[in-house]
Each structure stands twice: as C-alpha cells, then as structure tokens.
Structure 1
C-alpha cells in the first residue's frame, strides 16, 4: 500500500524538487527502474529513456538522494553496455560531473577513467551515460601491497595536476569541506565520544578544526578515493566529488577504506604517512604532512567504524601518543 500511495501522489503532483526527493525514496525502496523512468518522464518530458533497455542490476548504492546520484548498469538498443547516473540539474553533483567532463578528463593522461559518452539534460534532471567498466573492485583481488601502490600512483598523478591552473581554479570554487559527507559524519562521532581526563577534547577539536579550515597546503583531489572506486587494472571512477581539498584528505580516506578493521589506527596512520611523504614531501613541510594525515585519519577512521562514546583502547593510545605533539607543531608552523 505504501508503494501505491507514493506512486499516485507523485503522478498527481506538480514538478518540484520536494516531489523528486519523494521519487528517490520510492525508487530506492523498490529498486524499480521502470517505474523510476516513467515518473521521471512525467516530471521532465525531455527525459527520453526509450533508447535504453534497462536491467535491474545495481552496481552499488552510491552517494546521493536515494535513486538519484547512483550508478546503474544499462544496455542501449544496440546491446552496448553503459553506466547511467541521474542527478538534479544545477546541483553540486551536476556541477562536479560537468567539470569532470569538460575540464578534468582532458588533463588526466595516466589514470584510466570512465569517459562520459552522452548527456540528457532537462530543467529538473540530468542523465549522464558513462562507458562501461568490466572489472568492478573486489577486495579479494588486491593485496595490501597492491592497494598501497595504487593509492600512491593515483595521488601522485592528481598532485601533478596542481600545475594546471585551469584545472586547479575550476575545482577550487566548489569545495566546502565542512559539507563533505565523510568529514561531517567523522566529526559527529569524534565530538560525541567520551574522552578520558588526560585528553583535552577541546584542544583536540580546535586542532582538527584549524586543519580543516586552512586554505594552505591544498591539492586537487578525487574527493572519494574509496576502495570501492578503483580496481586492479588501474581504473578510478566516481569523480563526482572531485575538488581542491587539504593534503591528507584523499590519502586518509583511501587508506582507511582500503585496509581491514584488524589493522589498528596506528598501522593505518603509518601506511598513510608513508604514502604522504612519498607524494608531497618535495613541496610541503613533512611536519605539515604529519599533522594533516593525523587529523584526516582520525576523521575517516571514526566515520568508517562509527565509533561510539566508548573509544577503543588502541584509538585512545594513538590519540594520546600523537595529538599534543601534532597540535604544538601545527601552532608553530601553520
């Protein structure tokens, strides 16, 4: 009954984003792409889906509002495989994908990326069609050494694009780190944790905030260098959050998402620091790299494992051994 209630409500409503968000909830709950297409066509007549034969295969849940902002595997009438992604027109997602299509993919040479082959744009929605990738990431396919090597390769290539002014400035105008999903959720868990008396949580949070808000030591970044977004063949996809972020953000999320929970936070930090020094040390002070990696490892680790009020002992040891030293260093050299 809930399904039909939402469906008829959608059919009899006028076009607005509130109704489109309701549509997202319906499509997410029922994973019914045929229904999704029909309602999209009602809301935006210029959305034409008739040239695609859609299979109900969801590659992953994706990031966005329900059905919008997720990738789907589709086939056109010629039997050619594509990835489809639908976003709100003029949204941040749309702006980032458009920049990726019009600017960034022209400059990326060594990283394998999925090209956008066609775009359907309406007043309310934009549909992007990407070339199909055969090999979706499977954690069993990559050793820890291979993961580290791939992350090092991606970060070096992205850092080299800082020299391209057109790329750097195009992306810099869109980034708001405090609105990033990973950062917002990580900070939420860090703030709500119960710290022992020997940790001054106010100074810890001030240190984290200072690093997040600095305009120094920034680099062009993928924005979601999660393990689910790259594979053994060197492909890197899902560039919808690309932008200019502080050094350490891409690195920390890439490392935290790539290695297992059995690795302590200190082990994760050491891996990230090793990669960070290799990528950034020629142009950025090593102490700054240490501070940034420390902060973003904390944020990403708390976010990934949804650490509650009771902080694991190995995380407390990590904070105790490093944060005061990192804080003092940062205050001197920022």
Structure 2
C-alpha cells in the first residue's frame, strides 16, 4: 500500500518538476540481496549507496550498514559524505567523515570479495610503525567491522594540504626511495610474507591488468615475447610498494593515504607507475630514458640496478601502451622497444 501511494504521489510531483527517489527499507534491501551471489550484492549496494550519498541520507545509510554488518555498533555523533573522493571496484562510493567521541575518523566500506581489507590490516599490523620511523605518515586503522558482503573500516581523518606543482615529483620519488630503504632494512620481506599471494600478485594490479592485452599486442608487433619480461620481473627482488602513488594520495609532510593496493611488488614497478602518471598528466613534458639514472642511481644498490632498470622500462611500456593513439606515443614506444630488446634473449 505504501509503495502504491508513493508511486501516485511521485507521478503528481513529476508534473511540477519535482523528482524524488524511493528507498525500500533497509530490512527489505537486506532480505532481497542476502541470498544473492556476492557480486550481485556488491552491484546492488553500490548503485543504492550512490543514490544515498546524493541525497545525503545518513540515517538510512546507517540502518543499511547495521543490517548487512550486525556487529557494527558505533556511536557516531556527526557524519559527512566526502563528495570529492572517487570510487573504485573494491568499495562503496560512500566515504564519510565521522565523529566518534571527540575524534574525526574516515569511514570506508570495502567489498569482502576483494583483497583490500587484508592488505590494509597487514600494513597496519606489520609496517605502519616502521614507515613512521622513516618519516612516512599514514592514517592509523582504528576498527574494522566485518559482515558477509563487506567490511566497514575506520582510519584517522587528516586535514590534508596539497603539494605545490614544484613538490609533486620530488615528494613522490622521495616516498619511493624511503619504501626501498624500509624494504632493505626489514627481514619480513625475505621471509614470512614474501609468498602471500594478495601481497605480491602484481599481475592483478589494476593498472597492469587493464593494460596487459594492449601491451602484449604491441610487444608482438616488435617481435618481443612479453612472458620473458614478466617472468624476469617475478624472479627479481620484491619490495614494499604503495601501489597507487600519485599526487592525490601524497600530501605535504610526506602524508600518504589510500594504501588499499599496498603489497610486495617487483623492484621498479612503482617508479614506472609514477613516471607514467607524471608523463600522462603533463607533469613531465618530455620522455627521457636518462631520467631513471639521474633520479635513482645514488639510491638503488648496485646488485639491484639491472633488475630495477629492466623492470622500470618493462612496466612503463605496459602502463603507457594504452596511450598508443596520442601523437608522441610512437617516439616513446620506439625508445622503450630499443631498451627492452637490449635485455631480451628471445626475439621472435
């Protein structure tokens, strides 16, 4: 009866240019989705949460979280949706700034079907203090509440201050250098955690996964086997890697946020990702193969340099291959291919 009345009212309001959104109760949504496959639940909740965010309906959102995560019991006195944050495939696009007791926290809802929650828990337990010792500031993970479909996580909320255009490249590279130093100074990389798949699976990193097919076709065009370089990367040193370092995740004072993709990736991976983003955004105007040596020769150990350099040019080729339609691509591809052929033993 309520739904029928709402439909009639909605139709009449539309005549006056007033548009409304009808939300079934949280109980109805939970009943409808709980027996569905997780991927269906994620999709349904993702669409619904975007509408909730647009309408700024916190009470409804809270009741939805409570239904899907019964253990979630938090006394939130104030809450704001963060409208400028982007969403990803691994979470709801409804990030919030919430006040609990006298503290402001950042709330994020992760899908359990992804590995992000495992990674941030690992980071918080095993690396966060070590990173602070090296001057890398990151939000502390305070609580997680786990349901069947998703997990609600709470971090420190930082007042962030953007880097100037002159600071972006230098600060990004300084973070990478410090991560390399942390990797060199801790035994956990070489021992207990090196074989954990969700930490070292660079093949499924979002940028690699989205670029590999195009890159493979470009490789074959030049008579190079992509698997040769992929295997060499797998056999090279794995180091602590943020996984998504760019100017929207690094702020003044070496504050680094959004560690969802943290892992142990091949040396050179992160630097290639950063250089690709800087090149693509126009922060670096002209591609230069000498850039790597100029920036890192005094940081990377001699016995790591060959793997570092080869992996850098390989991953840069992978990431940049999606840009094959832009004017300068052919020139850059030619330089990268020449470099990669110098490392290859299998020319088709």
Alignment TM-score, normalising by the size of structure 1: 0.80
1:172 and 1:4, CA in 2 relative to 1: closer, same or farther beyond 3 A?
farther
- Please give the secondary structure, in 2, of the residue aligned with 1:67: coil
1:211 and 1:30, CA in 2 relative to 1: closer, same or farther beyond 3 A?
farther
Q: Is the 8 A contact 1:288 1:330 kept in 2?
A: no
Q: In structure 2, what is the equivalent of residue 323 of structure 1? A: 337
- 1:154 deviation in Å? 1.2
Q: Is the 8 A contact 2:276 2:320 kept in 1?
A: yes
Q: Is the 8 A contact 1:152 1:279 kept in 2?
A: no
- Please give the secondary structure, in 1, of the residue aligned with 2:235: coil
- 1:171 deviation in Å? 5.7
Q: In structure 1, what is the equivalent of residue 97 of structure 2? A: 73
Alignment TM-score, normalising by the size of structure 2: 0.77
| 1:73-117 Cα distance to aligned partner (Å, 9 max, x none) | 222353x32111221347411110110111111221121111123
Mapping 1:211-250, distance limit 5 Å: 211-212=232-233, 214-250=234-270
CA RMSD in angstroms comes to 3.2
1:265 and 1:275, CA in 2 relative to 1: closer, same or farther beyond 3 A?
same
Structure 2 unpaired stretches of 5+: 1-6, 8-19
Structure 1 unpaired stretches of 5+: none
Q: Is the 8 A contact 2:91 2:110 kept in 1?
A: no
Q: In structure 2, what is the equivalent of residue 36 of structure 1? A: 61
Larger Rg: 2
Q: In structure 1, what is the equivalent of residue 209 of structure 2? A: 184
**Quick one: distance in 2 between partners of 1:72 and 1:171?**
34
**Quick one: distance in 1 between partners of 2:265 and 2:115?**
16
Matched positions, count = 314
Q: In structure 2, what is the equivalent of residue 135 of structure 1? A: 160
| 1:143-167 Cα distance to aligned partner (Å, 9 max, x none) | 1xx2232123212221122231225
- Please give the secondary structure, in 1, of the residue aligned with 2:29: helix
| 1:39-84 Cα distance to aligned partner (Å, 9 max, x none) | 221122222354242112234114334516x643222353x32111
1:253 and 1:103, CA in 2 relative to 1: closer, same or farther beyond 3 A?
same
1:106 and 1:233, CA in 2 relative to 1: closer, same or farther beyond 3 A?
closer
1:3 and 1:274, CA in 2 relative to 1: closer, same or farther beyond 3 A?
farther
Q: Is the 8 A contact 2:92 2:108 kept in 1?
A: no
